[in-house]
Structure 1
Amino acid sequence: MKQFYLSIASVMISSLLAAQNWSGTTSGDIYYNQGNVGIGTPSPTSLLDVNGDIAIKYGNALKVNAANDGSWTNTSNRIILRTSWNAEVHDYVDFKVPGSVPNTANMRFTKNGRLGIGTTSPKSPLDVNGDIAIKYGNALKVNAANDGSWTNTSNRIILRTSWNAEVHDYVDFKVPGAVPNTANMRFTKNGRLGIGTTTPDAKLAVNGRIHAKEVKVDLNGWPDFVFESSYKLMTLEDVENYLAEHKHLPEIPSEAEVMENGINLGDMDAKLLQKIEELTLYLIEQHKQLKKAHQNIAELQREVAALKKE
């Protein structure tokens, strides 16, 4: 019977010891609970459960050995967090995905407030060496006014993807600012780019002026046919009659047509050149007739002079 009571007492003492802490009754007590160690918590739920800050002194890294091979070097791909310094970015904190073999998954946060993803020398507050995917959203926004407004109409969006019934899928590129502005480009699913317009009707549609050093237009033909012997040049009388009736040159669009449809620069340049070439032919013909008239006049003058001598 004595042995029985001793066994019960031993179990009770073990239970009490397991339920008590190791180092007193302050908030930083260390507890042991069914194989788990709690620091600052009497009910740890993992092998080490810390309720508070963790300070690592005389070291610079938090490491996890995913390979279970006992390797803990800085290059062994066991580090998930490391603080250090280098000449380019100075003090920094690295966040890395550990694994059984080295990988390139890495983020670096530097002392000047820059975060690099895929790069260890970020040049801006966010520097990403690779693709950026935006899911469950349609815009990349920048708040230039610092007023907390992020609505689609608040002029904070610099890139947005969306859809409308006229152009279907599209991507908008916009200049953000403190107040709304009209700086906008839209690229549509059919390969059209609109500048100053959200409904481009050509590969490049510009609602406004274009300033360029040079513009090259490819054409399918050029009006050199005017100088072919087979070309039928209108008589000046026919041109005069056409002008009286239509109030514009033949083969040149009227003012009403230009106002409604605009002009094609390449075609219009070709048509204008055609009219210049026709005008040149008229001048050449007029010169021939004038030269012949001068010859006739000179012949008549000689005849008159001969008659006066008789």
Structure 2
Amino acid sequence: MMKRFILTFFLVTITVSLSNGQTVDVKYLNPKFGTGDPYKHFRFGTSGEYYAGFMWNNTNGAYGNGDDFTIFTYGNRDINLRTGTGNFIVFPSSGGNVGIGTTNPQSKLDIYRRGEEVSLLRFSTERPWEFIQTGTGGGSGLALRSKVNSKYFRIQSPEGVNNTVFFTSNTASASRVYLVPHGGRVGIGTGSPDAELTVKGKIHTQEVKVDLNGSVAPDYVFKEGYELRSLEEVQAHIKEKGHLPGIPSAEEMKEEGVNLKEMNLKLLEKVEELTLYVIQLKKENGKLKESVEVLEYNLKN
């Protein structure tokens, strides 16, 4: 009875002191509330309703994973941690982690939530972004979704240069991805690209369009004054070099690769030259045909 009286007197003294704006210095505080339960706690509220509280939790899984300190509220009340002009810092002395939705965080910040379209993290700027889960089970994934239509997401250098830009839109044909738009190189299958796009492997596509960009299509072959090699000259070049005039050798192509635009233009040049050779042969064949017809006529008469 005497202990209960002393404890009541102690609490009343603290309550009166705090209500008068005074400070009570203590070295250790070991509340007896909750004795016999797996936790000790202070609660704020009235005799008929609790609002919030502090708890040292020993083994109760409802307030953590055991052996921890808990700040809790009742009902739909928030917990606000508000600083003045200072920072809010979570700094575990032994390198612990922060968990949201989990009592067993596995990284510095571990956010746990499951389900189709659940929101995991949101950046509430003027045009918000949100990380959400898509799908469930083995088909689940993580998506970065714009919460408004037509929005840019940029990856920038320390000086603000756009290295990669994503433009998202509900209209699929309006969406864009810009890789190194201000210069640089992209490598696929390689860590040392030697051009704006370097692919070490196969490319499967339906169509490739190449700009001439200063190159000249070989229609000059058909212009008057074009110096067409004679077939004898072509034959001599093939005999000496082992390849067509103006076409790289097999060794050159193996060592330096093949420039598709340049090679296609050279091959078109050869096709047009072949066309001229065919026209010449047709003319010669026509003359031979006329000569044969004259000879046949003379033989018959």
Distance 2:293 2:210 in 1: 51
| TM-score of the pair, normalised by structure 2 | 0.51
Shift of 1:304: 1.8
SS at match of 2:121: strand
**Corresponding residue for residue 138 of structure 2:** none
Which amino acid counterpart does residue 11 of structure 2 have in structure 1? W
Distance 1:60 1:126 in 2: 31
**Corresponding residue for residue 123 of structure 1:** 132
Shift of 1:195: 0.8
Shift of 1:114: 5.1
Shift of 1:54: 4.6
Distance 1:270 1:226 in 2: 12
Shift of 1:197: 1.0
Aligned mate of 1:207, from 193, 200, 213: 200
Cα deviation, 1:60-83, whole Å, max 9, x if unaligned, reads 22358999xxxxxxxxxxxxxxxx
C-alpha change, 1:126 and 1:31, in structure 2 (3 Å) is farther
Distance 1:32 1:50 in 2: 20
Matched residues, number: 190
Matched, 1:217 2:222: no
Distance 1:209 1:222 in 2: 28
C-alpha change, 1:187 and 1:32, in structure 2 (3 Å) is same
Distance 1:65 1:262 in 2: 64
**Corresponding residue for residue 38 of structure 2:** none
**Corresponding residue for residue 136 of structure 2:** none
Cα deviation, 1:191-212, whole Å, max 9, x if unaligned, reads 1111111111111111111111
**Corresponding residue for residue 240 of structure 1:** 235
Which amino acid counterpart does residue 118 of structure 1 have in structure 2? F
**Corresponding residue for residue 61 of structure 1:** 78
What is the percent sequence identity of the aligned residues?
32
Distance 2:81 2:249 in 1: 80
Distance 2:24 2:205 in 1: 74
Does structure 1 conserve the Cα–Cα contact (< 8 Å) formed by 2:54 and 2:72?
no
Instruction: Mark the runs of 5 or more structure 2 residues left unpaired by the alignment.
Output: 1-5, 32-43, 45-52, 57-69, 85-99, 102-110, 134-140, 147-154, 158-162, 165-178
C-alpha change, 1:59 and 1:289, in structure 2 (3 Å) is closer
Matched, 1:271 2:266: yes
Which amino acid counterpart does residue 209 of structure 1 have in structure 2? K
Does structure 2 conserve the Cα–Cα contact (< 8 Å) formed by 1:195 and 1:206?
yes
Shift of 1:305: 1.6
Cα deviation, 1:246-277, whole Å, max 9, x if unaligned, reads 00000000001000001110110010011111
Distance 1:241 1:54 in 2: 94
CA RMSD of aligned residues (A): 4.6
C-alpha change, 1:210 and 1:65, in structure 2 (3 Å) is closer
Matched, 1:230 2:225: yes
Distance 2:201 2:113 in 1: 45
Aligned mate of 1:41, from 29, 33, 42: 29
Distance 2:143 2:278 in 1: 69
Distance 2:199 2:143 in 1: 33
